[in-house]
Amino acid sequence: MKRISLHRKTRFGSSKGVSTVIATVFLVLTVFVLSTNVFLWTLSQNALYNQAAKDTNQRNADRMNENVIAEEGNCTWYSANKVKVQAKLTNAGSIAAQIINLWVFDTSKQTYGFNNSIASLSGSNMNPGQVLNLTGSNAMIVNVPNAVSGDKFNAWFVTARGNTVPVVTSRGIIIAEVSQGIGSVGMDFGAFIYYNVSGSSPNFNLQVWPNGKEGFNVPDADIAFRVTLTNFDMNQRTINLTSHSALWMNFPTFNPQQSRSAWWYIVDVDDTGKIKSTFSVISLPYGVPTKVYFASFSDLGKTGFSRSSPGNKGPAAVNLMVFGTIGTSTLGQNIPFVSVYVT
């Protein structure tokens, strides 16, 4: 009996030791698996964080390297609650940029407006060095509540990366602000053109249309002149020219009694170069170069069209006399601008 009990006791003791070892092994394996999973999860999260930080740093670097410039711009009242914005955008940066929005702020009314249709325009995705010309017929129109003529506006573009691109006025407008004592109307001296006039009443036409010929040397014949005028009014008001506006040519001599003058009144010209028999007011929007024609010996606001010629030869001084309105005020300005030689 004693021998049997001893045998059983020894057997039971050995089984308990094995179970303890097995449990310990399983515990170690469980801890190892859990630790491995935690370690792998930590590595994956660290990799995700590093990638997110890398992407963020890249976006910030791209945003800082983005450099779009909006030059030669102006922002003017167009019609009721509408503002016209013109500018030449250049991607001067080293990476591509996308223009997605245009904002206008009416500083007179403290109101805003925007136009996001620019994102759909061809050329709004700008590669480095690319130019997007938004002038003339490509100008952008923005709805701005309560905007009226005479209000002042600021404008800026927005890129897809969130950078703002302020519209910078052209250098010519800055010069005009310095020299407001001269007047609100400026002329492009390099765009002084003359045309020969042909035809008979009521069909008079400008020859070599539309380019004409350089106007500093002209013949003593029936001719007309084209000048390019720009409205530089600091208050951005529209200028309207009336039929009294004229181009005046004076031939100085040593004997004042022999001096002679000639003149050409302002006219309307259609798209084919035909001079219209009646005159309508010609508008000069702020900051927009506008071609204006002078061809009639008589004021079309008083009588019909008639041809005009210098009537003399030699050197002559040319002045431009413009009359009309600027905003709600009257305008009268004399522009001494070029000299011509008549042959």
pLDDT > 60? residue 308 = yes
* pLDDT attached to residue 15: 60
CATH of the domain at 78: 2.60.40
Query: Distance between CA 269 and CA 230 in Å, rounded?
Result: 18
Residues 77 and 183 in one domain: no
In the chain, the amino acid numbered 212 is G
Q: What is the mean pLDDT of residues 319-343?
A: 90
Whether 244 shows a pLDDT value over 90: the answer reads yes
Would residue 19 count as lying in a domain?
Answer: yes
Q: What's the pLDDT score for residue 14?
A: 55
Question: Which residues 6+ apart lie within 8 Å of 102 measured at CB?
Answer: 85, 114, 115, 116, 118, 140, 142, 155, 156, 157, 158
The answer on 195 and 306 residing in a single domain is yes
Q: What's the burial of 317, exposed, middle or buried (CB within 10 Å: 0-12/13-18/19+)? A: middle
- Among 295, 185, 197, residue whose Cα is nearest residue 243: 295
User: 30: which strand partners?
Assistant: none
Of the candidates 108, 138, 169, which is a domain's last residue?
Answer: 169
The predicted pLDDT at position 3 comes to 53
Q: Is residue 163 part of a domain?
A: yes
Same domain, 196 and 267: yes
The answer to which of 57-61, 298-302, 314-318, 319-323 has the lowest mean pLDDT is 57-61
Same domain, residue pair 184 and 159: no
Q: Are 275 and 204 in contact (CB under 8 A)?
A: yes
pLDDT of residue 179: 40
In angstroms, rounded to a whole number, what is the distance separating the alpha carbons of residues 195 and 184? Answer: 27
Q: Let me know: does 170 contact 135? Beta carbons within 8 Å.
A: no
From 169, 191, 211, the end of a domain falls on 169
pLDDT at residue 5 greater than cutoff 70: no
Please give the Cα distance from 245 to 299 (Å, whole number): 8
C-alpha 291/C-alpha 339 separation (Å) is: 19
Boundary-marking domain end, from 142, 169, 196: 169
Is 284 a member of any domain? yes
Which of 26-35, 146-155, 277-286 shows the lowest per-residue confidence on average (mean pLDDT)? 26-35
Mean pLDDT of all residues in 74-97: 89
Q: Are residues 187 and 158 in the same domain?
A: no
State the residue range of the domain holding 338: 179-342
Query: Cβ(176)–Cβ(299) under 8 Å?
Result: no
> Residue 14: which residues within 8 A CB-CB, separation 6 or more?
none
Report the SS3 class of residue 21.
helix
Cis preceding linkage at 145, omega within 30: no
State mean pLDDT over 6-28: 65
Q: Mark whether 156 and 186 lie in a shared domain.
A: no
**From residue 266, how far is each of 35, 241, 300, 301, 320 by CA, in Å?**
92, 9, 8, 10, 10
On whether both 185 and 213 belong to a single domain, the answer is: yes
Task: Please determine, for residue 231, whether its predicted confidence score (pLDDT) is greater than 80.
Answer: yes
Q: Are residues 237 and 314 in the same domain?
A: yes
- Asked if pLDDT for residue 24 goes beyond 60, the answer is yes
* Predicted pLDDT at 6: 47
The answer to whether residue 250 sits within a structural domain is yes
Average pLDDT over residues 302-314: 91
The DSSP-derived string for 96-132 is -EEEEEEEEEETTTTEEEEE-GGGGSTT-EEPTT-EE
- Asked if 250 and 337 sit in the same domain, the reply is yes
Is 174 inside any structural domain?
Answer: no
How far apart (Å, rounded) are the C-alpha atoms in residues 41 and 212? Answer: 78
| 164 and 194 co-located in one domain | no
Query: What contacts 91, CB < 8 A, 6 or more positions away?
Result: 67, 68, 97, 126, 127, 128, 129, 130, 131
CA 303 – CA 279 distance, rounded (Å): 10
Whether pLDDT at 127 is above 90:
yes
pLDDT given at position 292: 95
Question: Which of 2-6, 72-76, 108-112, 160-164 shows the lowest per-residue confidence on average (mean pLDDT)?
Answer: 2-6
Q: How far apart are CA 209 and CA 229, in angstroms?
A: 19
- The predicted model gives 169-177 an average pLDDT of 49
Residue 240 domain flag: yes
Whole-number mean pLDDT of the chain? 84
Of 51-60, 132-141, 195-204, 289-298, the one with minimum mean pLDDT is: 51-60
- Number of domains forming the structure of the chain: 3
Nearest 5°: the CA angle 82, 85, 328 is: 55
| Length in residues, the chain | 343
Percent of the chain surpassing pLDDT 90:
42
In whole angstroms, what is the distance from residue 265 CA to residue 298 CA? 6
State yes or no: pLDDT of 285 exceeds 60: yes
Inside any domain, residue 92: yes
Q: What is the pLDDT of residue 338?
A: 84
- For residues 322 and 222, state if they share a domain: yes
Q: How high is the pLDDT of residue 178?
A: 38
pTM, two decimals, is 0.53
Instruction: State whether 189 and 322 are in the same domain.
Output: yes
Give the model's confidence band at 240: pLDDT under 50 very low, under 70 low, under 90 confident, else very high: very high
Q: Which residues pair with 158 in a beta bridge?
A: 101, 164
Q: Which of 323, 319, 322 is nearest to 339 (CA)?
A: 319
Q: For residue 328, tell me if it sits in a domain.
A: yes
Which of the residue ranges 56-65, 93-102, 279-288 would you say has the lowest mean pLDDT? 56-65
> Considering only CA atoms, which of 224, 248, 262 is closest in space to residue 322?
248
